[in-house]
Amino acid sequence: MSNITIKDIAKALNFSVSTISKALNNSYEISAETKKIITDYAKDNNYKINRLAKSLKIGHTNSIGVIVCSYFSSTFLAQILDGIQKASLETGHDIIIMQSFENVETEKACLDSLISKGVDGILMAPVSETSNSEYLSYINKNHCPIVLFDRINAAIETTKIGVNEYKGALEATQELISINRKRIMFITGDKFGDNNPRILGFKKALKNLDIPFNPRYMVFCNLENTEEMDATISRSLRELTEQNIKPNAIFGATDVITTRTLGILAELKIKVPEEIAVIGFANTDIAFALNPSLSTIRQPAKEMGFLALTKLVEIIDAPVKTAQKYETILLETSIQLRNSTNLQLS
């Protein structure tokens, strides 16, 4: 059955087209009783809003663009998208999801594509602190509002929703040190600079306990290519072992790094946690089922996604004359300790 129109509803209920339109748009001019009659009839008879016509009338597409690095390979990002989807259903917005694949040029192409589609706003986790920063500022001022999430260190004046990465990294490092694991290999992405909160938290924990920072234990890998990532981690472990400075703990700075590290250690026949304890940022729901079960810093990903879209919609809907007050909101992480740091197994 084809969808009915506003004119069909008006004819069936003997109301004017204007009254039907106002009722379906929840206008204060229409009584609650009349609204209920009209909305119930519309629902029972398969009425669908013509979003194209509505967008032309109000000057909005009612769509929001979302740019992530790669949600197919990250449970964490998939959970953020769950939160964004939930919020979009509540606010009535369509979302367009694009992936940058940790590549700066691809990220710019995603931005261009979303602008050409006329999205009302953009949610984005940048490739790095500096990727396309000038272009992001230009878009934010001249095209549509941008809200950053997860990776929020870019120097653009806007609302940012993240987690307290510094505190999470500091506490995780302290946990490794508390089990007498002081030769800690920290593995992160090669696009993250020294001011990254996870690196700063790691270094601060070492400094607090008078443990010298050894740059040999800092490993930067290519997040765009998992084969290269695995090769870098494996090579670093072999080289440090050959030089008799083998680490006795590994801290993974991202979801993908942390989970793949367990597989790499198994291939190298390095026992966890007997030889090397492992902890890291990871939101995988099967951390308990890995061998050994993985100790993780868990981030409130769904809450982050929900809040990011909610804040963006508030900015979109705010009157033009209202002075914009940008926020930076940091949600708290939690540590979940499992067998990969349980030295009682050894």
Mean pLDDT of the 81-90 span? 93
* Together in a domain, 231 and 341: yes
Q: Which of 5-19, 40-54, 70-84, 177-191 has the highest mean pLDDT?
A: 177-191
* Together in a domain, 118 and 97: yes
* Together in a domain, 231 and 108: no
Domain region containing 37: 6-49
* Together in a domain, 289 and 306: no
In-domain check, residue 55: no
In-domain check, residue 286: yes
CATH code, domain with 35: 1.10.260
* Together in a domain, 264 and 318: no
* Together in a domain, 204 and 97: no
In-domain check, residue 251: yes
* Together in a domain, 36 and 131: no
CATH code, domain with 261: 3.40.50.2300
In-domain check, residue 54: no
In-domain check, residue 339: yes
* Together in a domain, 43 and 98: no
In-domain check, residue 1: no
* Together in a domain, 24 and 119: no
Return the percentage of the chain with pLDDT > 90, whole number.
Answer: 70
Lowest-pLDDT range, 87-91, 214-218, 286-290, 318-322?
A: 318-322
In-domain check, residue 316: yes
Secondary structure in 3-state letters for the chain: CCCCCHHHHHHHHCCCHHHHHHHHCCCCCCCHHHHHHHHHHHHHCCCCCCHHHHHHHHCCCCEEEEEECCHHHCHHHHHHHHHHHHHHHHHCCEEEEEECCCCHHHHHHHHHHHHHCCCCEEEECCCCCCCCHHHHHHHHHHCCCEEEECCCCCCCCCCEEEECHHHHHHHHHHHHHHCCCCCEEEEEECCCCCCCHHHHHHHHHHHHCCCCCCHHHEEEECCCCHHHHHHHHHHHHHHHHHCCCCCCEEEECCHHHHHHHHHHHHHCCCCCCCCCEEEEECCCCCHHHCCCCCEEEECCHHHHHHHHHHHHHHHHHCCCCCCCCCCEEEECCEEECCHHHCHHHC
* Together in a domain, 183 and 278: yes
Number of domains the chain is built from: 3
Considering the entire predicted model, what is its pTM? 0.79
In-domain check, residue 13: yes
* Together in a domain, 141 and 128: yes
pLDDT tens digits, one per residue of 256-308: 999 999 999 999 999 999 999 999 999 988 888 898 999 999 999 999 999 99
* Together in a domain, 306 and 287: no
